[in-house]
Amino acid sequence: MASPLTQITARKPAWLRVPAPGGPNYLTLKQLMRELKLHTVCEAAHCPNVGECWEHKAATFMILGDVCTRNCAYCAVAHGTPAPLDTDEPIRLAEAVQRMGLAHVVITSVDRDDLPNGGAEIFAACIAEIRRRTPGTSVEVLIPDFKGSDRALRIVVEAKPDILNHNLETIDRLYRLARPGGRYRRALALLRRAKQLDPGMLTKSGIICGLGEEWDELLGAMRDLRAQHVDILTVGQYLRPSDRHLPNARYYTPAEFAELRRLGMQMGYRHVEAGPLVRSSYHAWEQVERATAAV
């Protein structure tokens, strides 16, 4: 059944409105990304927090190009045929991390189903180059499912990221509609296997709300993730990128997100970040601190 707290509305509520980006750090960071020919998911996915995060010199780098081989119905990232692999990208990314003086960096990617290991080697190279240049920087990777490849996952895990994230995104019933290239059970299996390969590594996942799931289905997905020993969970509101994407089925209230956080902590997560504007990398540096403190 639906949560009794929910009030469905067709208009975007006030708590989802954010100021347009444009501060000095935002403009400097944008120039740096163009100079080093790097991509960010902040821009590609139309993240509502780009102004806030970039003003705090926090960005989520998107490697392996800016064109995805999949076409998820909720995602703003372009899809099609990607450009050839850029093997120098890890060097430029590590340079950006060093120049920004980042204490924590998040690296994600488009899906590259055209590559034998889905680009896992580039993830590993980015981690290694950051460790070489700025050994004090903690590294979080938000990886694709690599089509279930154990070899690809092993390549990334053996590079020793501090956090390994793979977003579940939605409930089992909606997977074929929202994420036709993915598989719900495959996502869970990847997170379980990552923990088996390195039990001391923090694992993380995220869910977006408002695609048409019921409250009990959402709680079921949260339990499924916790059953894979996932440490950190993020839960945020789906915002339709364009009229070509899935429509918003509902907007969750701040009170509902607070309840989801409470229930998630009861399930045993070390940390739950839940809120209307929460994305998987939102306040990622604070999530690390809180999850580590919860050990």
**Residue 89 resides in a domain:** yes
**Domain-located, residue 244:** yes
Mean pLDDT within 232-250:
93
pTM: 0.86
Distance (Å, whole) CA 259 – CA 41: 28
Residue 249 has pLDDT above 80, yes or no: yes
pLDDT digit string, tens, across residues 67-92: 999 999 988 888 999 999 999 999 99
Provide CB contacts within 8 A for 223, sequence distance 6+.
267
Instruction: Return the percentage of the chain with pLDDT > 90, whole number.
Output: 65
Beta strands in the chain (DSSP E): 39-40, 60-63, 104-109, 138-142, 163-165, 202-209, 232-237, 271-274
Q: Are 32 and 64 in contact (CB under 8 A)?
A: no
Q: Is 77 helix (H, G, I), strand (E, B) or coil?
A: coil
Provide the pairing of β-strand 39-40 with 60-63. antiparallel
pLDDT of residue 283: 61
- Which tokens go with 170? 């939605």
- Percent of the chain exceeding pLDDT 70 equals 80
Q: What was the pLDDT predicted at 253?
A: 96
- Mean of pLDDT values over 38-56: 56
What is the predicted pLDDT for the residue at 76?
81
Q: How confident is the model at residue 53 (pLDDT cuts 50, 70, 90)?
A: low
Asked if residues 152 and 120 have their Cβ atoms less than 8 Å apart, the reply is yes
Mean pLDDT of 137-150: 96
* pLDDT score, position 1: 39
Q: What is the dihedral of CA 29, 115, 279, 258, to 10 degrees?
A: -160
Give a yes or no: residue 96 inside a domain: yes
Q: Determine the pLDDT at residue 101.
A: 83
Instruction: List, in order, residues 6 or more apart from 225 with CB less than 8 Å away.
Output: 168, 188, 191, 205, 207, 233
**Residue 61's pLDDT is what?**
87
Report if residue 10 sits inside a domain: no
Residue 207 sits in which domain range? Answer: 18-293
Instruction: Tell me the backbone φ, ψ of residue 204, rounded to 5 degrees.
Output: -150, 150
So what's the pLDDT on residue 107?
93
* Per-residue pLDDT at 284: 59
**pLDDT attached to residue 2:** 44
Residue 7: its pLDDT value, please? 44
Tens digits of residue pLDDT in 2-27: 444 444 445 778 777 665 555 666 67
Mean pLDDT (the chain) is: 86
Task: Give me the CATH number covering residue 217.
Answer: 3.20.20.70
Whether 206 has a pLDDT exceeding 80, the answer reads yes
* Each residue's pLDDT tens digit, 89-125: 999 999 989 988 888 888 999 999 999 999 999 999 9
Top-confidence range, 4-18, 27-41, 197-211: 197-211
pLDDT confidence band for 208 (50 / 70 / 90): very high
**Position 280 in a domain:** yes
Beta bridge partners of 140: 106, 163
Domain-embedded: residue 3: no
Among residues 130, 217, 144, 218, the alpha carbon closest in space to that of 183 is found at 144
Number of structural domains (the chain) is 1
pLDDT confidence tier of residue 44, bands split at 50, 70 and 90: very low
Domain-located, residue 50: yes
283 touches 273 (CB < 8 A): yes
Neighbours of 37 (CB within 10 A): 10
Residues sharing a CB contact under 8 Å with residue 75, sequence separation 6 or more, in sequence order: 45, 68, 241, 245
User: Average pLDDT of 247-274?
Assistant: 96
For the segment 145-174, what is each residue's pLDDT rounded down to a tens digit? Answer: 999 999 999 999 999 999 999 999 999 999
**Residue 37 domain flag:** yes
Give Cβ neighbours of residue 289 (< 8 Å, ≥ 6 apart).
none
| Confidence tier at 41 by pLDDT (50, 70, 90) | low
C-alpha torsion angle, residues 134, 135, 141, 147 (rounded to 10): 110
Q: What is the rounded CA–CA span in Å between residue 121 and residue 117?
A: 7
